[in-house]
Amino acid sequence: MRPRWLLIPVLLSLAGIAAGMAWVDWSKGGAGSGLYSREWQPDPVQGYWDPERFYQPAKTVEGVYPAAECIACHEALTPGIVADWRDSRHSKPANRAPVACPDCHGADHQKLRMPTPQVCGECHGVQKEAFNSEKHYGFPSHVLAMERATDSKHFVDKPKGETTACVQCHSVATKCDSCHTRHRFDAAEARRPEACTTCHSGPPHPDDETYYASAHGKRYLADAQKTDWSKPLKKGNYLTPTCAYCHMRNGQHVVADKSIWQFGLRQVNPNNAENKVKRERWVEVCMDCHDEEFSRRQLTDMDRERALAWQGLNRTERLLRELRSEKVLYPAAGQRPPYPTDWMDRMFPKERIGFFEGQASSFYNVSPIERDYFEMWYFANLGSYKAAAHGAPQLVQQGHAALAQAEKSIAAEAAQLRDKARTPRPDPKALWLGGEYTTHNKEHN
């Protein structure tokens, strides 16, 4: 009899997995996309950010047109687009007919398409497969960027103006013109750092600031005008390391294959089996210009910087978890708006701290000390990591000074919270659960 009883938890587990997969499949079947596709409606502009799913061609023009007629019409309507196409390799490729409008958009004006990686992959198959291979590395990666946005709970609740701003960059997953601007699609343009820093900028990803502050970035600023950007990303073609040269070595369309520290927001073992392989890939890249000892030392220095940063982050996170267990965070989770679309948060409100919980602090009301820790972890920490990764020692020092100041400030806040918890405090629900912004969202989103 005992073996039969042992089958029960196995069968229940299998049933639970099947039910979970069915729920995910159902939840992605709505008008939107992602895990909350049934909770939001796409605006028309979403057709340009995620064209395969949402683009709807204009119905004002009928007919099936050859390339010559497309060009003749658009030279009057959108001459800049035609001029860019004429300057591109598509208009004058070697050993074949031009790649023209119908090849990418289709010939039937009632069934036009916006090109996606799948469309581009019809000719650029190697690049498409390399790009798709980023899925094997998980987040962060370009190919999963749109999924990362639309699977987030805040994507459902936030005003469209805010989420549209997010997907302008996250649409790198769903169209190739984030890097190769249409209709020129010039590889030389995509090889320059500006193609990357269009999105990789600002406190959440300060790659631009840290790169330009580094020796590499300074060399780029000095040498950019005399560099031949038409050359492939191969050793000997470039004297100045750039984003694409280092992260897309030899033109490989995958940037996640060398990511050791996972964007700097997670504490990892830099010497596990996977990361040892990635370290060798980085050493190989660096040795295009530096010797092996120097290259390995740079990675070791970055590991030391990460270890030092996480010592302070871990101390501060433990402090916040202690405050949560002591129930002294104010306003408490039940005194502020619940996380949208999260029934667990409505029934069992909980303060959110750390990597898996704390990213909510970027989008929703949290207590001041939780937000301060979020900014310490997400902004000061990320700035110091990116500076270490890009070789900007002055910004590493600034980042660690900011981390130390944040830790000191948060410790002082914690002492005040504990002191004030001894006396009755007013209920903040009326202030936190209402207000113009909250009411507007409830009625219009």
Rounded CA separation 287/239 (Å): 13
Query: Does 348 reside within a domain?
Result: yes
Non-local CB neighbours of 366 within 8 Å, separated by 6+ positions:
336, 351, 352, 360, 374
pLDDT at 150 over 70: yes
The pLDDT value recorded for residue 319 is 97
What six digits make up the tokens of 139?
């987040």
Last residue of a domain, one of 178, 210, 227: 178
Q: What is the mean pLDDT of residues 126-149?
A: 93
pLDDT band, very low/low/confident/very high, at 41 (cuts 50, 70, 90): confident
Do 75 and 167 lie in a common domain?
no
Q: DSSP of 99-159, one letter per residue?
A: --HHHHH-SBGGG-----HHHHTTT-HHHHHHHHGGGGG-SS-STTHHHHHHTSHHHHHS-
Do 385 and 397 lie in a common domain?
yes
Query: Does 165 reside within a domain?
Result: yes
Average the pLDDT over each of 110-124, 233-247, 368-382, 428-442 and give the range with the smallest value: 428-442
Range of the domain at 91: 61-95
Average the pLDDT over each of 348-362, 372-386, 411-425 and give the range with the smallest value: 348-362
* Percent over 70 (pLDDT), the chain: 97
Kindly state the DSSP code that residue 189 receives in the 8-state scheme.
H
Q: Which residue has the tokens 């005003």?
A: 159
Q: Which residue has the tokens 């370009």?
A: 142
Rounded CA separation 376/320 (Å): 13
Query: Does 201 reside within a domain?
Result: no
Do 380 and 410 lie in a common domain?
yes
Report how many domains make up the chain: 3
Rounded CA separation 157/255 (Å): 31
Non-local CB neighbours of 377 within 8 Å, separated by 6+ positions:
265, 313, 316, 317, 354, 358
* Length reported for the chain: 445
Predicted confidence (pLDDT) per residue in 345-365, tens digit: 888 888 888 876 777 777 777
Do 419 and 402 lie in a common domain?
yes
What six digits make up the tokens of 384?
């110091």
Do 52 and 158 lie in a common domain?
yes
- For CA atoms 248, 249, 254, 258, give the dihedral sign: negative
Q: Are 138 and 128 in contact (CB under 8 A)?
A: no
Average pLDDT of the chain is 91
Do 72 and 40 lie in a common domain?
no
Rounded CA separation 205/210 (Å): 10
Do 330 and 318 lie in a common domain?
yes
* Percent over 90 (pLDDT), the chain: 68
Do 320 and 397 lie in a common domain?
yes
Q: Which residue has the tokens 């300074």?
A: 218
pLDDT at 2 over 80: no
Query: Does 330 reside within a domain?
Result: yes
Do 68 and 133 lie in a common domain?
no
Last residue of a domain, one of 138, 159, 178: 178
Query: Does 423 reside within a domain?
Result: yes
The pLDDT value recorded for residue 295 is 96
- For CA atoms 403, 380, 262, 319, give the dihedral sign: positive
Do 362 and 301 lie in a common domain?
yes
Do 86 and 160 lie in a common domain?
no
The pLDDT value recorded for residue 441 is 67
Last residue of a domain, one of 160, 178, 196: 178
Query: Does 65 reside within a domain?
Result: yes
Query: Does 271 reside within a domain?
Result: no
pLDDT at 4 over 80: no
Do 414 and 323 lie in a common domain?
yes
Query: Does 229 reside within a domain?
Result: no
Predicted confidence (pLDDT) per residue in 95-112, tens digit: 889 999 999 999 999 999
Kindly state the DSSP code that residue 229 receives in the 8-state scheme.
T
The CA-to-CA distance between both ends of the chain, in Å, stands at 55
Closest to 180 in 3D by CA, of 87, 70, 96: 87
Largest CA distance in the chain: 82
The pLDDT value recorded for residue 445 is 61
